[in-house]
Amino acid sequence: MKVLVIGSGGREHAMAWKLAQSSKVQVVYVAPGNGGTALDARLKNVAITDVKALADFAVAEKIALTVVGPEGPLAAGVVDEFRARGLRVFGPTQAAAQLESSKAFAKDFMQRHGIPTALYATFDDPKAAHAHVDKHGAPIVIKADGLAAGKGVVVAMTLAEAHEAIDWILGAVAGDGKNNRLGVQHNAGVARVVIEEFLQGEEASFIVMCDGKNVLPLATSQDHKRLQDADVGPNTGGMGAYSPAPVVTPNVHATVMHEIILPTIAGMARDGVPFTGFLYAGLMIDDEGAPKTIEFNTRLGDPETQPIMMRLKSDLFDVMMAATDGTLDQVELQWDRRVALGVVMAAGGYPLDPRKGDAITGLPAEQPDAMVFHAGTAPAKGGVVTSGGRVLCVTALGDSAKMAQQRAYEALQGIHFDGMQFRRDIGHRAIKR
């Protein structure tokens, strides 16, 4: 059977790689894909991104199953379009994708359904936003309402930073479409800003699959959002991840399912927007093990997917077919007991202004316990070049977090591209535990 994966990141490379391992899958198309999916003989890139053109392609090629990676096509209604054409697709509808695409929608939803999250207020008037910040003081969190690839958030440790972030998001400074030094994109006066209570604790990524009725949790994971070692520097899309996340003990797991995941799925159904697809709760877990939802994503995480796919032993194609048949209750996922850990290698200048077109050398051959998943890469004469912010995610398995970390850093040793940046401490929290 033929499968289509929509997207071009490391997450999509990992999903396509895993789907291609199924004996039932002849070919996995990746639209538009990247340099890594171009190199793999079992995968085929197709240069389509438009939602209607993707559905045309799926009809013409008799695609048995389509899996959507990123939030962009989900928010653009790709699932609605595919379903209207009778195509099998796994993901949320445009309406359900608002849990991610609009922070204001998500916060209102959580408040209405009693789902633990940070206190917040939403503003479109800069004066009121500034006054709110002055009243509540720092640290405080300032977010652009809308999709910003994890980069529309400023955890302001000082009042000055908070005021600056508000000005950029609400466009009080003349609009130029650029990022400011805090990494906030300038929205030229059309946006809303969400201002949140600062939460303390340890973050974890809790991702489940939902078929509309049944909920199936994936292995837990943890991301590293900040650019630099020791969690400093600007927020990024994620600089590395590992699975499992030891902070999610069996008790915490049960609490998250009971207080966050199940009420969210039930609440969406009650609100008339039943949820199908991957639901990702970004959690802050305090010292007592009480979780709060920082955000929802309506897709798999990137880079969390890379270690999760390395650990998944079940046939992903079978799982996806069950997820689109409404029979996830009959699926039991099998996981490698080892730890998987992925280190993101990012382009120079990322996240503000990533450079492109640098030749990548020294890519190792595929090994059973280490994989180089591509993201911002493009095929070029004689190899691959960089083409985006996060370039590669070198992911490895090991018997402990420490061993997975060692193996991942060993696997990336020979890789080079000019300006490359990567953290040297991915997994530090798991290792400390």
Binding to ligand AMP, residues 102-121 (CB under 6 A): 118
Residue with token string 């204001």: 104
Tell me whether residue 40 or residue 203 sits nearer to ligand GLY (CB atom). 203
Binding to ligand AMP, residues 175-214 (CB under 6 A): 196-199, 203
Tell me whether residue 299 or residue 407 sits nearer to ligand GLY (CB atom). 299
Q: How far is the CB of 284 from ligand AMP (least distance, A)?
A: 6
Look up residue 289 and give its two tokens. Answer: 């093990």
Residues ≥6 apart with Cβ < 8 Å to 86 = none
Q: How far is the CB of 8 from ligand GLY (least distance, A)?
A: 14
**What is the four-CA torsion angle of 290, 295, 297, 303, rounded to 10 degrees?**
-80
Binding partner at 196 among ligand GLY, ligand AMP, none, C-beta below 5 to 8 Å by kind: ligand AMP
Q: List contacts with ligand GLY (CB under 6 A).
A: 150, 223, 238, 297, 301-302, 304
Q: Which stretch binds ligand AMP (CB under 6 A): 2-10, 147-155, 179-187, 310-318?
A: 147-155
Residue with token string 């359904």: 113
Tell me whether residue 12 or residue 304 sits nearer to ligand GLY (CB atom). 304
Residues ≥6 apart with Cβ < 8 Å to 397 = 310, 311, 336, 338, 339, 340, 369, 370, 404, 407
Binding partner at 301 among ligand GLY, ligand AMP, none, C-beta below 5 to 8 Å by kind: ligand GLY
Q: Which of 157, 199, 161 is nearest to 183 (CA)?
A: 161
- Please pick, from the candidates 295, 339, 392, 404, the single residue that binds ligand AMP as defined by CB under 6 A: 295
**Is residue 281 a contact residue for ligand AMP (CB under 6 A)?**
no
Q: What share of the chain is helix, strand, coil (3-state, %, to 5)?
A: 30, 30, 40
Please count the other Cβ atoms lying within 10 Å of the Cβ belonging to residue 94: 18
Q: How far is the CB of 166 from ligand GLY (least distance, A)?
A: 23
- Read off φ and ψ for residue 24, nearest 5 degrees: -85, -10
Binding to ligand AMP, residues 209-248 (CB under 6 A): 225, 235
Kind plus residue range of the DSSP H or E element containing 21: none
**Is residue 71 a contact residue for ligand AMP (CB under 6 A)?**
no
**Alpha carbon distance 368, 365 (integer Å):** 10
Residues lying near ligand AMP in the complex (CB under 6 A) are found at 118, 141, 143, 150, 153, 155, 196-199, 203, 225, 235, 282, 294-295
